[in-house]
């Protein structure tokens, strides 16, 4: 059962939501959640591979391709040889923040919460987004670049090579431990199937303009309007 708050804002039936002061940490997906684009699709579009890559992205987001690592590797392989300068163009020409992203993050920071950016996207973009929004922790994939071009692979990092749904969940739990809070004091915000593991681990799950499978499982679904609409459901 669900109950609709104002139009386009859905709160699933359950215990009363805790006040904002209960929460100590918020973890966000990036692509199509904090920002309006899927960065890999925009890279592909500028490289003339848009349709091929977008088709795999959509299938993965809908949960039809269940192995996110496999879907990412397949998409990246199509981008081998693309000039790295395309990344600068995507950042300058295509990347915009979703409505309410800055406002929601600022409100959470003002409430004393720590912010986590955990993305199946790329460090080239998460560095910018994290700096703009004041993120405290970041985990994302590092594109491998050689001779000024993408190789079609990612670089191994100390936690692994690809930030998939399980890595998102582990990152949320690790950040809770670092901050000294329980997982039920965390909020997780996302839009795609690979966000469900971290949303399931958090005390409050929020779907933003999300795929049907994600909307159905989240406690809160923002289907219209900006991210900051969440604040209307959380008393101080």
Catalytic residue set: 29, 31
Spatial distance between the Cα atoms of 137 and 203, rounded to a whole number of angstroms: 19
The phi and psi torsions of 146 (rounded to 5 degrees) equal -140, 135
Question: Which positions ≥6 away from 51 have C-beta within 8 Å?
Answer: none
Count of CB atoms situated within 10 Å of the CB of 198: 28
Helix axes of 68-77 and 50-61: crossing angle, nearest 10 degrees:
180
């Amino acid at each position: 059962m669900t109950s609709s708050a104002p139009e386009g804002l859905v709160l699933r039936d359950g215990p009363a939501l805790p006040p904002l002061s209960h929460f100590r940490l918020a973890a966000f997906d990036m692509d199509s959640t904090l920002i309006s684009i899927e960065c890999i699709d925009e890279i592909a579009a500028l490289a003339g591979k848009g349709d091929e890559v977008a088709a795999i992205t959509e299938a993965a987001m809908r949960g039809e391709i269940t192995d996110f690592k496999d879907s990412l590797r397949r998409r990246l392989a199509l981008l081998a040889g693309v000039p790295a300068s395309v990344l600068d163009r995507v950042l300058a020409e295509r990347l915009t923040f979703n409505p309410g992203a800055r406002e929601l993050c600022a409100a959470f920071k003002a409430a004393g919460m720590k912010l986590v950016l955990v993305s199946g996207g790329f460090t080239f973009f998460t560095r910018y987004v994290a700096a703009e929004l004041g993120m405290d922790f970041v985990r994302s994939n590092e594109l491998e670049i050689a001779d000024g071009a993408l190789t079609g692979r990612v670089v191994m990092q100390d936690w692994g090579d690809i930030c998939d749904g399980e890595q998102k969940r582990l990152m949320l739990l690790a950040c809770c431990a670092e901050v000294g809070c329980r997982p039920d004091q965390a909020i997780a915000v996302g839009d795609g199937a690979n966000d469900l593991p971290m949303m399931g681990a958090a005390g409050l799950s929020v779907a933003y303009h999300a795929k049907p499978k994600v909307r159905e499982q989240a406690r809160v679904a923002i289907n219209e309007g900006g991210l900051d609409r969440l604040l209307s459901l959380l008393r101080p």
